[in-house]
Amino acid sequence: MDHHIDINLFDEEAVIDLALFFKIFGDVTRLKILFSLLNGEFTVTDLIGKLGISQSTISHQIGLLRRMNLVKSRREGKSIFYSLDDEHINSILLQGFTHISEKGKNQ
């Protein structure tokens, strides 16, 4: 009665896509942006102040998040508001965070 994931290891493309997906969460800057966006819509300028990261870096990384369809944008005048565009992000971040927390406890 095992509870396996039915992914065919020979479906190379699926594995590649999965790696690309997880890779997104493997960067501190992107994580900070994503955690911020869990709390609502923000502009690049907002994030600069909130996170203390340069405009260029935030633009580059948020552009990547948009291209990967994790984030969507909405222009309002000179500003562009970014927000999450994926229902799984919340639970994935939570799961990772739970993992980290428990590791911390045990060591």
Contacts with DNA, residue ranges (CB under 7 A): 23, 26-30, 43-45, 53-57, 59-64, 73, 75, 77-80
Handedness of CA 93, 82, 87, 19 (dihedral sign): negative
Mention every residue, 6+ apart, whose C-beta is less than 8 A from residue 50.
36, 42
Cα 32 to Cα 17, 68, 92, 103, distances in angstroms: 23, 16, 14, 21
Q: Is 55 in the site for its own copies (CB under 8 A)?
A: no
Contact of residue 80 among DNA, its own copies, none (CB under 5-8 Å per partner type): DNA
Decide whether 9 or 75 has the Cβ nearer to its own copies: 9
CA 70 – CA 85 distance, rounded (Å): 5
**Among its own copies, DNA, none, residue 83 binds (CB under 5-8 Å by kind):** none
The contact set with its own copies (CB under 8 A) reads 2-5, 7, 9, 14-28, 31-32, 35-36, 38-39, 50-51, 69, 86, 88, 90-100, 103-104
